[in-house]
């Protein structure tokens, strides 16, 4: 996208541990058995299914691609909003980020579902929808 680098976004959600999303920068051949990625994002809770949908785009217009992570079963902000879902945006930079744990750290942007069972984040994507030069979620 913005910086002409090759990306592979791998997403795995596990039943008993937190979901994990990762990005591996600039490699053409990757042995998925031996590498976890340059950037790891741990979901806020195992039941959120963080990473069941992932995308990237330059959301903040800084020239670096940002990762967009869907968590359709998240209960954001209020546990009464069961499965409202959430979409997390982690801003990219010139160097790989370390592990980001969404249970203890905030994403740069979080979009929360409004009501029970909205399942926001079931699918995510980016593109310049309104023609302003910035990728939109």
Q: Which tens digits make up the pLDDT trace of 43-64?
A: 888 888 888 888 888 999 998 8
Report, as ranges of residue numbers, the positions in the chain whose pLDDT lies below 70.
1-38
For residues 21 and 10, the answer to whether their CB atoms sit within 8 Å is yes
- As a whole number of angstroms, the distance between CA 64 and CA 104 comes to 24
Task: Note the pLDDT of residue 81.
Answer: 86
Answer whether 87's CB lies under 8 Å from 124's CB: yes
Contact (Cβ atoms closer than 8 angstroms) between residue 53 and residue 82: no
From its phi and psi, is residue 26 left (phi > 0), alpha (psi between -120 and 50) or beta?
left
Q: What's the pLDDT at 78?
A: 75
Q: pTM to 2 decimals?
A: 0.75
């Amino acid at each position: 996208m913005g910086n002409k680098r090759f990306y592979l976004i791998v997403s795995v959600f596990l039943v008993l541990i937190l979901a994990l999303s990762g990005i591996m920068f600039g490699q053409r051949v990757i042995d998925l058995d031996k590498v976890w990625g340059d950037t790891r994002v741990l979901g806020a809770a195992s039941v959120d299914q963080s990473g069941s949908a992932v995308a990237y785009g330059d959301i903040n217009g800084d020239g670096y691609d940002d990762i967009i992570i869907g968590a359709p079963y998240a209960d954001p902000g209020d546990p009464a909003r069961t499965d409202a879902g959430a979409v997390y945006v982690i801003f990219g930079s010139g160097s790989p980020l370390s592990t980001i744990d969404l249970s203890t750290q905030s994403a740069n942007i979080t979009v929360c579902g409004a009501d029970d069972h909205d399942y926001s984040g079931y699918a995510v994507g980016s593109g310049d929808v309104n023609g302003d030069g910035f990728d939109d979620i």
